[in-house]
């Protein structure tokens, strides 16, 4: 006879992502009994520390440290070993930090809703039923595989997770899709020594960015030796022994490129399959995301969805902010919402990184804004000697400023330390700090932020 263990909690968290674990810690500290269910012991802490932000950015660091005399395969294997050591430590720390609390329990297994307050985890003698007054769903997202003949079943198809867990560097990597993930991996693996080809269906890379900025990105990637093919529609993947051939069409011609590994980088979808959300009465969108309001409540008022699974921007820091919103509902005044988010930055971690925030010049002009624009190549910014001290002078800085109010409307920073500079700019945008104030502020020297002294000087003077 099979016996099912039943656990009753105040809060059930499904998924060990950034939002879920942050909320779980705060709720246990507030005296709530919390049970967190994570389907894989390899994902304690979520995507970011295991297969996302941390390992990929560590690979960026390692790949840029590779010397010409280093053996590519040996150097890559050593880099992967370093990544594994760090991610294992983070994973262990995430588990122990939460499960070690008196009022928290971490269960490893796949959760499936039985009713709006209950999930079943596991089967047979290992089955556990968890019932809670409040439920947080934080299951994240998963890669989408485009419907290209031969791709899904190809042994050469790899996900981003597969790539960073392999010990062997693919000699020829083909990336399908020239978005953030695709370009980041293209840059990383090219710096490790792989031959990399990016196949992008649009006429240019980064269609949401201004064309002049996207062109500098393209120039840098091509300068690193990455082959970029735009206007390319992939029509088939044909395996041929130890390699595969990716067939694509461009301008009416059928062309192909051989590869040892093929990375589809065409987007991710919310991971809701298997949750049996129908039993919980939780509604989803046609794209599979869980429907939420501005407070992240689902169609069931006691169920919240945090992170990628709710269809919002797929960033770890958004998942963190989701936790703040939910915690304000459960422990605070209930005022915080997604509508509070202003000037949220993002970064493409190529080398050097591209960080953006706010409106592009194109978007501002389409809105009829009265703007002034400053654009300066990093190599020409006299007030930014750090670029020369670290021998990375490639890139461009571009700002869009409201000519009537002197407020910054947007920025595109393609430079060393861009991922840090953009946070200063975003904070200024949220609090109506003017371009003049940014221009005349005191920054440490030599730093990348002090470039604002020079670049904004041109913006402000042209608007006066």
Q: Which segments are annotated as binding site for FAD?
A: 57, 139-141, 308
Q: What is the C-alpha separation between 311 and 306, in angstroms, rounded?
A: 9
Q: What is the C-alpha separation between 333 and 353, in angstroms, rounded?
A: 38
Q: What is the C-alpha separation between 25 and 37, in angstroms, rounded?
A: 14
Alpha-carbon 293 to chain mean position = 23
Catalytic residue (choose from 117, 191, 431, 445): 445
Binding-site residue positions = 57, 139-141, 177-184, 200, 267, 308
Nearest CA to 435 out of 406, 409, 462, 400 is that of 406
Nearest CA to 451 out of 384, 392, 355 is that of 384
In which region does residue 236 sit, left (phi positive, over 0), alpha (psi from -120 to 50) or beta (all else)?
A: beta
Please state the φ and ψ torsions of residue 351, each to the nearest 5 degrees: -125, 110
Residues in the chain: 464
Six-digit token string for 349: 């971690």
Q: Which is it for strands 243-250 and 233-240: parallel, antiparallel or unpaired?
A: antiparallel
Binding-site residue positions for NAD(+) = 177-184, 200, 267
Q: How many other C-beta atoms can be found within 10 angstroms of the C-beta atom of residue 293?
A: 12
For the question of residue 25 being annotated catalytic, the response is no
Q: Which is it for strands 34-38 and 5-14: parallel, antiparallel or unpaired?
A: parallel
How are the residues of the chain apportioned to helix, strand and coil, as percentages rounded to the nearest 5? 35, 25, 35
- Catalytic residue positions? 445
């Amino acid at each position: 006879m099979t016996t099912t263990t039943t656990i009753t909690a105040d809060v059930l968290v499904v998924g060990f992502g950034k939002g879920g674990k942050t909320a779980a810690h705060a709720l246990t500290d507030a005296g709530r009994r919390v049970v967190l269910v994570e389907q894989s012991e390899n994902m304690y802490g979520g995507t970011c520390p295991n297969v996302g932000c941390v390992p990929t950015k560590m690979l960026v660091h390692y790949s840029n440290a590779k010397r010409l005399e280093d053996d590519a395969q040996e150097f890559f294997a050593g880099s992967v070993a370093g990544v594994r050591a760090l991610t294992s430590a983070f994973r262990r720390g995430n588990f122990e930090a939460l499960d070690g609390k008196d009022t928290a329990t971490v269960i490893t297994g796949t959760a499936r809703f039985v009713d709006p307050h209950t999930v079943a985890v596991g089967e047979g003698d290992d089955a556990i039923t968890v019932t809670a007054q409040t439920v947080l769903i934080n299951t994240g997202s998963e890669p989408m595989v485009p419907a290209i003949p031969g791709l899904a079943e190809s042994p050469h198809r790899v996900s981003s997770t597969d790539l960073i867990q392999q010990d062997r560097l693919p000699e020829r990597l083909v990336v399908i899709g020239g978005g953030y993930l695709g370009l980041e991996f293209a840059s990383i693996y090219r710096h490790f020594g792989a031959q990399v080809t990016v196949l992008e269906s649009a006429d240019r890379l980064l269609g949401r960015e201004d064309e002049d900025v996207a062109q500098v990105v393209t120039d840098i990637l091509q300068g690193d030796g990455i082959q970029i093919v735009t206007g390319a529609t992939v029509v088939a993947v044909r395996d041929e022994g130890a390699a595969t051939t990716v067939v694509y069409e461009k301008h009416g011609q059928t062309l192909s490129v051989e590869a040892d590994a093929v990375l589809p980088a065409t987007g991710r979808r919310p991971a809701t399959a298997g949750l049996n959300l129908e039993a919980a009465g939780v509604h989803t969108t046609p794209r599979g995301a869980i429907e939420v309001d501005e407070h992240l409540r689902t169609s069931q008022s006691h169920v919240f969805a945090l992170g990628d699974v709710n269809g919002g921007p797929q960033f770890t820091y958004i998942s963190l902010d989701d936790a703040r919103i939910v915690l304000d509902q459960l422990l605070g005044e209930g005022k915080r919402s997604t509508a509070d988010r202003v000037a949220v930055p993002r970064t493409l971690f190529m080398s050097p990184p591209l960080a953006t925030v706010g409106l592009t010049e194109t978007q501002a002009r389409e809105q009829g804004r009265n703007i002034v624009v400053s654009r300066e190549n990093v190599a020409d910014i006299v007030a930014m000697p750090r670029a020369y001290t670290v021998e990375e002078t490639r890139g461009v800085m571009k700002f869009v400023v409201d000519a009537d109010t002197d407020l910054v409307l947007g920025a595109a920073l393609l430079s060393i330390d861009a991922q840090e500079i953009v946070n200063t700019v975003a904070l200024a945008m949220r609090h109506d700090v003017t371009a003049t104030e940014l221009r005349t502020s005191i920054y440490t020297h030599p730093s990348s932020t002090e470039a604002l002294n020079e670049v904004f000087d041109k913006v402000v003077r042209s608007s006066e």
